[in-house]
Structures are given as C-alpha cells and as structure tokens.
Structure 1
Amino acid sequence: MESDASFDGAEDGTFPAPSFGSTEKLLVGDEATNESQSEHPPPSHVLCLWQVFLDRVNPVTKLVHVPSVQPYLAQATAPWPWLPGNIEALLFAIYAVAVVALDDNECICMLGSPKNTLFQRYTSALRGALHRARFLKTTDIVILQALTLHLLSLQGRHDTHATWVLSGVCIRIAQKMGLHKDGQALGLPPFDTEMRRRVWWNIVLLDFRSAIASGFTPSSLPPACDCKMPTNMNDGDFYPNATEKFQDRDGPTEMIVFLLLCGMMQYLLTQPGLEDIITSMEENAVSSGTESQSRSAKLDKLAAGVEDHLDRLMQQYSDPTAGPLHQDAWQIKSAMTSKIRKMCQQSRKQLETGSQPTMGKDHLFHLSVDAIEHTTGLYQAMATKDLLWFVSTLFESELFTYLVGELHDRTSGVLVERAWELIPVIYHYHQDLFDLSIESNVILASFVLKAWSRRKETLKAKFGHGLETPAYVQSLEKSMPLDSVGTGPLSGTLFPPSAMAPGFSGPQDMPWDPRFMGFMKDSNFGDSRWMDLESDMRRHVLSSGEETGNTLPGDCSANPQAPW
C-alpha cells in the first residue's frame, strides 16, 4: 500500500492544470502560475522562517513530522529549487503561518519587509500552489496539511464566518480521505496512522474554534468517527518505516499544548446535550428569566468535568519544570478551565436569580469586562513570547468593541474603572488595532476617542481637573484626529436600517454573536453609542485608499526551541 502520508507528488512533481471551470477558484481564486520559484524566500529567510515555525507554530499544531520535512527545507535553499507540487504548497503554508507568528517589528528586523507584505506574498503563492494541486479533489495528505496551516493563519485576522466555512471544506476533504476513521482499524502503517490523527484533530479543533467565534454551536463529530487522539511522543520517537504500534510516553513531550487543546475540544464535543447547554449559557448571558434547577446542575457538571479531564491529562503528560512550553501549557490549561467555570457560574447565577432587562444589560457589560480581563491575564502570564501569537488569535474583538462602546455612557463605578485599565493592555498586545485602514478598527477607535472625551469631561467636573491623555489615545488621535470624530453621541448614517442586524442598531459587517442577539432584541440597546459615524469614518477610510487590510503585531528575537 502506498504510504498515506507520503511526500511524493505526481511523478514529475507537478499537477495537471485545472480546467477552465475549476471549482478551486471559488475558494483560492485564480492565482495559478507555472513558475513559483520567484516566490520562495531567500535561503537565509527560509531558514529563519523554518526556525520560527519550529519555535512558535509546531508546538501548538504538531501537524507535520519535522524530521521528514526538514530535508525539503535544505532543497528549498538551493539556487534553483525544484520541489514536488505538494511540498511546495506545504512550504508556502509554513512560510505564511510563520510570518503570522511574528510581529511587524520582528518581520522588518529579521526579514526586511512589513508583516502584511510578507503574509500577502506567501499566502498568494500558497493559493496558487493549492489551485494547481486541485485541492478540492485531492487525496494527498500533504496538500491537506498545507490547507490546514492556511486556515490556521487566517484565525483572528480574517472574516470569522468565511473562516468557519473554509474549515467546513477542510472537514469534508478530510472525511473524503477517511481521516475520521482511525488508521489502525484500517490496517495502515503506524506512521500513516499517527499523521492522520494529527491532521484530523487539527482540522476538528480549527472548526470548533471557528464555530464558536462565529456564534454557532460546534458541529458534532461524524457518527462514524473513531479516530483516536494523537500519541504522546516527540517527533524523534517515530519514523515513516516503523512497523510497531507507537505507545504514549509517560511524562513531558513536545505534544503537550496540542494534546491539551484537543483534550478540551474532544471532551466538549462528546458531551450529550452540548448544544442545549451552550444555548442555555448564551440565553442567560443576555436575557432575563429563570430556568430549571436541572440546567444549573448541568452547568456545574460541565465545568467540573472539563477541569477534571484536563487535570488528569496534565498530570500524566506534563511537568512545569520541563521547560517554558510546559509552563505555558499549564497557564493555558488554567485559563481554559477558569473561563469555562466563570461562564457556567455566571449563567447559573442568572438561572437561579433571574433579572430585570436593565439588570441584564448590566450583566452583559459585567461579562464583557470579565472576558477581556481574562484574556489580558493570559497574555501577561505566558512564560515566553513563543505562544503569545496563538493565544492572541482567541481575542474576542467584537466583545471588546462592545465594551468600549458602553464606556461612552458608563462613566463611574468599579466595573468602569476595570474596563479602562484593560484598554491600553489590549492595544499593547494587539498593535494591529492601530491600523486605521481597516474599517472595524476605525469604528473601535471612534468609540475609544468618544468614550475618552466623555471620561475627561466627567472627571474634570468631579475633581476640577482632567487626566493626562494616555499614549494609545494620542496615537489614535494622530491617525484620526478627535475633532473629526466629534465629542457628541455616536450618531450618523454609516449603517442604514437596511444594513442592520434584526432588532439592532449597529454595523452589520461586524460578526454578530447570537449570544447577544436575544438581549438586543428585547432591550433599548439601539441607542446613540451604536448609531453610526458616517461622515467622519467613511471619509477617513476612503482617504486611506483601502477599506480592508490585515496587519499583525512587535521585537527582533525568536526564542530557540526548548530541548526535551
């Protein structure tokens, strides 16, 4: 049997040219060219990007077998690199996601170009390689690895709904290839079985994340899915020609973060009635009323079950003294269980007490402060910078925009002070929010400036003097002067009624989370702070020359991978 995880493409290393009506154009466009050598980075950049991939991306994905891919990196640094088509796609995916794992300052220092320029270059080359490979019809696991890395690179910096749709495409391709069936039961070689598990659970994890980010309940595993979890072992512990079944190592390995993420996701997906539990949490986060005690018990059981499952996994496979990666794994585990516990406790409290509509509105603001506070706490707790890019993709940007918008009318109180402490932290870790060529960033900046103006007025009236303008506000004012935004209520016609989500006065192109829609429908939330800013923002966006764009956050060092 031909190895399912083989790196061999067609005999001549190329793929048949797609037909004129190729369906691949629907997803990756028509960027296919016969020559892609000019798109490869210089040899020094190839090695740099590969090291960044090993240090920052590989620990959270374990999608490739490093010893098997490494020889192709040497080949890619040759004066006239010739690579099989599937390997070329994989390398471009590695370059692109490695760029995502760097900030803009690092890209300029290490690679001589801005981050967005490099990302667009390698993503374009990757799309061309996927197009030539006719990825929708592929049975090549290497092409699927490239597509999965491409999907990862889009997390948090692309339309969440489009990313969710693309993750569904990956799931279908993987199912077509039979990855949902465990290779051991199919009689496949141990190496192929292990790689299939890694690819399958990466795709399921990305689909899980994309569904949550889009406001949907994650899809259940296919009924016929019996794919086991990846084995706890280092890449150096197995090889393509192995004939013996691989065994889990007791103790620390380089798999810990990936196993942790998969462990939580698998536990949740296998819970009976998950959709009902999530729906209950969503409804009680944004609306009033009381529910049965049985639902309260289900929430408690879910939180306790997740924590117990992850505790056992970490005790078996991790040790905080094993190095920075394991220290970060414990921080991520603590953050995940803490957030789930907090969500369940908040929902249970709402279930048991009920609330009036105005209390529900306050409850939603409280939830948003807690959530963003939780995010910033995780950023600051990470032992190294290596995985910071990954946890930053979990940032709930729409929730943050809601929080800032609320600060125009909320001018005092403990929660308000906590919220104002969070804003500079978010701007510090998400430098891309300063890029006002992106319309959603303009909206956020306008909310920040209006809220800050109101805060200054309030404090001056109360204490007789205002506050010193913080650096992040000064930066936003320079890019979008305060007088162009105004200081009155957020009003205008940037988002006409036809563009509004049902029952809500706000920008439709911001991805709406159904968790908020029930509350917005039943409240008077369509008030001035969410009315638009057409004359100011549209003038600013159009003057920038582009309506959308992507940049990513900063330091010219990539930490070496911790030895095992």
Structure 2
Amino acid sequence: MTKIVHVPTLQQRVLDASWDPANASKSLTAILFAIYTIAVTSISSDDCQTFFDESRADLLTRYRTATVRALFQADFLTTKDLEILQALTLFLFSNPGSELTTTLTGATIRIAEKMGLHRESTDPQTSLFEKEMRIRLWWQLRGLDARCRIASTPALRKPPAPSELGDIRLPLNVNDADLHPDMTEPPLEHSGPTEMMCVLMKFEVSNWHRHSPTAVKLFENVIQGHVRNKALIELEDKVISELQNIYHEKYFRNSDPRIPLHRLTHAIANISIARLRFNIHHPRGRPTNDDTEVYITREESDILFESAIIWLDAMVDVSKSSKFSSHLFTHMTTSSQMDAYIYLLSDLRRRCSGDQVALAWKLVEDLYNEHPELIDDGNDFFLAFGDLTLEAWVARRNELALSRGGVESDGTPRFIQLLWEKRQYQNADGAELPPIFNTHGLDDFGLQDDKDLNWVYWSELLRL
C-alpha cells in the first residue's frame, strides 16, 4: 500500500542483521522498529494476543517508543540518509490521523526537499535504483502532506499548489523484482497491473492535478464547498471523466478482480470518481435565492443516486471484502459518507423498485447493523436520520405490496422493526404510533415532501 521500501533488498539486510542485531546500523534499526509499529497497527487486538501473547496497546506503546528513540539516535531531523527518511515516513503512516503525524509531516517534507527529493537528481553518484526509491518516497510524502493539511487546517482547506509537487515524474510501473541496486539501465515499464498499481493510481490524481488547471479548480471547489453554476458543473463533470479514463486505460484494462490488490485498487478508484461526481452535483453547492431552500432536477438526482451507490458499495467492498488491513488504506478512502446515505434515503422515498433500489437498501441495512447507535442514541441527527429511513421504508413497502397485488410481505428488516419500536417508545405523549405500513404514519416527523429535499436542513444537522 505504500511501496516506500524495496522488499527484496531490505529482506536480505534483515536476515543479515538477525545474526548480529546489536551491530545493526542506526538507519536499519529505525526502519525495523517503524515496520514493527505499522505491522502491529495493522492487525486486530485478538490477533496480537494470539500471536504475541500481549495486548495490542502494550505492543504499540513499546514499538512507537522504540521507533522514536531510534529516529532520535539517527538524528532524523538533520538527516540526509534516505533510509532514515523512509523509516520516519513509515512511522507517520502507522497513525496518519494523529496530531503528531500532522506536525511531523511538515518537517518531513522540509527534510525531503533539503535532500532534493522534489527534483530530478543529476548527481552521477546517485544510482538508478536510489533515484527510483527517492521518487517513490517523495510522492508518498506529498500525498500524506496534502491529507494532513486538509484535515488539520480548516481555514486553509485546499490542495497543495501544483508547484509544491515538484518537477519529478511519477514512479515507474514496475515490480520490486524489476529493480536492483546494481542496475545500470532503467527497467522496462509494464503496460499492465504491477505491485505499484494501487500506489500509482493514488499518485495519478496529484499528477493530473499538477498538469490540469481545471483539475486544480475542481479540487478547490470540492474541498472548500464553493457554489457552482450549471456551466461550471458541466466542465467539472468533463474533467472527472478525464480522470476516469486515465484510470481505465492505465490500470484497469487488464486487471483481474480475483486478485485482491487489483480489486482493492479498482474499489478505491470507484470511491474517488463517485465521490467527486457526487460532490459537484450535491445540492449544497447550488446558489439559492433566499438561502433557505435548495432543490435539484431529476436528471441530477439520478447522477447523485448512482454516484452515492457506487461510492458506498465500493467502501463496503474495501472494508469487508478486502484481504488487506483496513488501516493501510484509510488514507486513500474517506469517512465522510453520511451525505451519501442521506441522499440515498431521501431518494428512496420515491425510488421504490429496481436493482439499484435493492442495493441501496442493502447498503442502508449494513450501515444500521454496523452502527447500532443510529437506533439507540437519541441525538438530533440520529433521530432525523431514523425518521428519514422509516419514511423511505414506507414507500418501499407500499410498492412491494402493490407488486404482489396488495399482499404485504412479512420480510421487514430487523433494523426497521427496531427503529419503529424505538419511535413508539420515544413518543412523548405516550400514544401508540400507527402501524408501519400506514403511509400516513410519518406525516408529523417534519421531513420534506416526496418531490423535493431541502438540503439546508440536513446541512445544519451534519454540523452536530
């Protein structure tokens, strides 16, 4: 997921050092402890107890402390050693959302620039092998820095300027086996998927951003939530299609979904494209006359509904089906999915049949099964979200009953039953709520009618 180190070379050095660990170099010591840290971070608490007979928390404390000590002993803040910078970067990826990572990532970028990683190396003493590893490391650092900047500085929520990305090419599309420290000619790039495909797919966005002024504007608008007119939306849609074509041509034309890395890469690409398209068509980015109502057309509703399904289905694929540790690709995905679920449910009040609708309800059911607090917690957002879910389900049940000639099915999902029971319990005056199949049973819950959705209401709730 990172490809910061060259596995065959490092593996041999680890074997050599295992015979005499006390005399391992400072740089190798740092990178080994960083690998221990990221390895423990990537496995579950139960696995830690099974494999090591120790708790995950104790192991993380031990290895994080050891990594920091090893980095200090190697003078990492003034280093010009590529391996020490690799160790520091792996350590940052072990907890990419922490305050420490946010702070140290900026320092790491400065160290990398001091070492010249942002420029094509012309030093004849730098081997082809080291040049390639420097390029890999630089792009990983830039991606981590961009994410940290957006997450930690809300007032400066915008991607890095293209000039900050440096002037170096993307890493080569090759496997580690194609690289060797003694190589005298660059390896021949593969035209199909390699070990680098997931990493390169992620880098492709930054490279596209570096060369496309329209892409720069797109990311600024999406991240900062700028208001858009119809012409700008059409332009941004065209630009997103360009990125989608790049993904298909370079990474997915010959991919095999049966291979876990290929499937994961495809899912992350789908998340990226669907989320961008969802955001540019989202009602929140539309101009309004009185700043109280935001409505969208049926055509754009179709785009939003399909994008939301692709986004959420790919997220489920990444989190449930992938054989990789979820920690290793959290920096490539997103946790801000509630907008998509809200839009699905708002549209499910009038979309009541079809394969997409069935998949949408499966996604909603999975969400409730994984997050029982949506039913049990009584905060305003969860209550409003539950009300919207129940209203959508009433429309779904009525459509199913009509398709069966008016005969109702007993197949009400468990989460719907629990939601309805909770509403009965929470009814303030103690009066019994009408049966769930009564289409008028939710009229008093304060939601919008079947034709329009006022997104300002949900914008306020999402800030809770």
Name the TM-score, length of structure 1 as normaliser.
0.58
- Amino acid across the alignment from 1:218: P
2: distance between equivalents of 1:224 and 1:379?
32
Deviation at 1:145, TM superposition (A): 0.6
Q: Distance in 1 between matches of 2:211 and 2:124?
A: 23
Which residue is 2:238 aligned to? 301
Partner of 1:311: 248
The CA deviation at 1:100 is 2.5
> Which of 262, 271, 275 is the matching residue for 1:339?
275
One-letter code of the match for 1:337?
I
Structure 1 Cα separation of the partners of residues 185 and 389 of structure 2: 72
Partner of 1:266: 207
Structure with bigger helix share is 2
Q: 8 Å contact 1:233–1:255 — kept in the other structure? A: yes
When the two structures are superposed, what TM-score results if normalisation uses the length of structure 2?
0.69
Q: Aligned pair 1:128/2:69, yes or no?
A: yes
Provide the C-alpha distance between the structure 2 equivalents of 1:319 and 1:394, rounded to a whole number of angstroms: 19
| 1:497 paired residue number | none
Taking the TM superposition and a 5 Å limit, the aligned residue runs for 1:432-447 are 447=379
Distance 1:238 1:277, change over 3 A: closer
Would the alpha carbon gap of residues 184 and 117 (structure 1) be closer, same or farther in structure 2, given more than 3 Å must change? same
The 1:291/1:136 distance shift into structure 2, 3 A limit, reads same
* Corresponding residue to 1:451 among 383, 386, 402: 383
* Structure-to-structure mapping, 1:136-147, within 5 angstroms: 136-147=77-88
1:398-447: CA deviation from partner (whole Å, max 9, x where unpaired): 554x889x89xx9x9469x9999657645877xxx89xxxxxx99x9664
On the 8 A contact 1:148/1:203 being kept in 2, the answer is yes
One-letter amino acid of the counterpart of residue 314, structure 2: G
Pick which of 300-309 and 335-344 moved more: 335-344
SS at match of 2:186: coil
Whichever of the two has the greater Rg, that structure is 2
**Mapping of 1:18-167 within 5 angstroms?**
60-75=1-16, 77-78=18-19, 81-155=22-96, 157-159=97-99, 163-167=101-105
1:105 offset after TM fit, Å? 2.8
Once residues 309 and 57 of structure 2 are traced to their aligned partners in structure 1, the CA distance between those partners, rounded to angstroms, is 26
Map of 1:377 onto structure 2 = 314
Q: How does 1:238-249 map to 2 (within 5 A)?
A: 238-249=179-190
What is the alpha-carbon distance in structure 2 between the residues aligned to residue 124 and residue 372 of structure 1?
Answer: 42
The 1-side partners of 2:312 and 2:389 are apart by: 29
1:154 match: secondary structure: coil
Over 3 Å counting, the alpha-carbon distance change for 1:163 and 1:448 in structure 2 is: farther
Which structure exhibits the higher relative contact order, with contacts defined as CA atoms closer than 8 Å and separated by 6 or more residues?
1
Residue aligned with 1:201, SS: helix
- Equivalent residue for 2:402? none
Deviation at 1:72, TM superposition (A): 3.5
Query: Which whole-Å CA distance do the structure 1 matches of 2:117 and 2:457 have between them?
Result: 46
Q: Is the CA contact 2:275–2:307 (under 8 Å) kept in the aligned structure 1?
A: no
CA contact (8 A) 1:92 1:125 kept: yes
Amino acid at match of 2:6: H
The offset of 1:116, in angstroms, is: 3.3
Instruction: Give the AA of the match of 2:315.
Output: L
Map Cα deviations across residues 116-173 of structure 1 (whole Å, 9 max, x no partner).
Answer: 3322321221112122222111111111111111221212x535xx644432222111
Superposed displacement of residue 217, structure 1: 1.3
Q: Which residue of 2 aligns with 1:7?
A: none
Q: Tell me: CA distance 1:282–1:230, structure 2 relative to 1, closer, same or farther (3 Å).
A: closer
Separation (CA, whole Å) in 2 of partners of 1:456 and 1:292: 29
In the alignment, the residues of structure 1 paired with residue 83 and residue 308 of structure 2 have an alpha-carbon distance, to the nearest angstrom, of 37
* Distance in 2 of aligned mates of 1:387 and 1:450: 29
Match of 1:280 in 2: 221
Alignment of structure 1 residues 359-508 onto 2, 5 Å: 359-360=293-294, 374-380=311-317, 384-386=322-324, 388-394=326-332, 396-397=334-335, 400=338, 413=349, 422=363, 425=366, 447=379, 451=383
Tell me if the contact between 1:99 and 1:119 (Cα under 8 Å) persists in the aligned partners. yes
Q: Call closer, same or farther: CA 1:445–1:258 in 2, change over 3 Å.
A: farther
Instruction: Please say if residues 320 and 330 of structure 1, whose CA atoms lie closer than 8 Å, have aligned partners that are also in contact.
Output: no
Cα distance in 2, alignment partners of residues 448 and 86 from structure 1: 52
Give, as a single letter, the amino acid of the residue that structure 2 aligns with 1:338.
A
- Partner amino acid for 1:308? N
SS at match of 2:213: coil
Q: What is the distance in 2 between the residues matched to 1:184 and 1:253? A: 27
The answer as to 2:259 corresponding to 1:327 is no
Task: For 1:383 and 1:169, locate their aligned partners in 2 and report how far apart those are by CA, in whole Å.
Answer: 36
CA distances 1:292-319 after superposition (whole Å, capped 9, x unpaired): 62x2343123212211222221157x53
Rounded to whole Å, the distance in 2 between the matches of 1:396 and 1:123 is: 25
Deviation at 1:63, TM superposition (A): 0.8
3-state SS in 2 of match to 1:320: coil
Identity of aligned residues (%): 24
Rounded Cα–Cα distance in structure 1 between residues aligned with 2:389 and 2:132: 61
Alignment match of 2:133 (pick from 192, 195, 213): 195
C-alpha spacing 1:292/1:193, structure 2 compared with 1 (3 Å): same
Per-residue deviation, 1:263: 1.5
How far the C-alpha of 1:274 sits from its partner, in A, is 4.4
Contact between 2:89 and 2:141, CA under 8 Å: does it hold in 1? yes
Shift, 1:190, TM fit:
0.6
Q: CA deviation at 1:291?
A: 2.9
Hey, what's the Cα distance between the residues in 1 that align with 2:457 and 2:388? 28
Unaligned segments of structure 2, at least 5 residues? 352-356, 398-411, 429-453
Among candidates 175, 189, 195, match of residue 234 of structure 1 = 175
The verdict on how the C-alpha distance between 1:391 and 1:210 changes in structure 2, with shifts beyond 3 A counting, is same
SS of 1:148 mapped into structure 2? helix
User: Displacement of 1:321 after TM fit?
Assistant: 6.9
User: Residue 94 of structure 2 aligns to a residue in which SS?
Assistant: helix
CA deviation after TM superposition for structure 1 residue 111, in Å: 2.9
Cα–Cα, structure 1 residues 275 and 331, in superposed 2: closer, same or farther, change >3 Å?
closer
Q: Where in structure 2 are the equivalents of 1:525-544 lying within 5 Å?
A: none
Q: Equivalents in 2 of 1:338, 1:386: separation in Å? A: 22
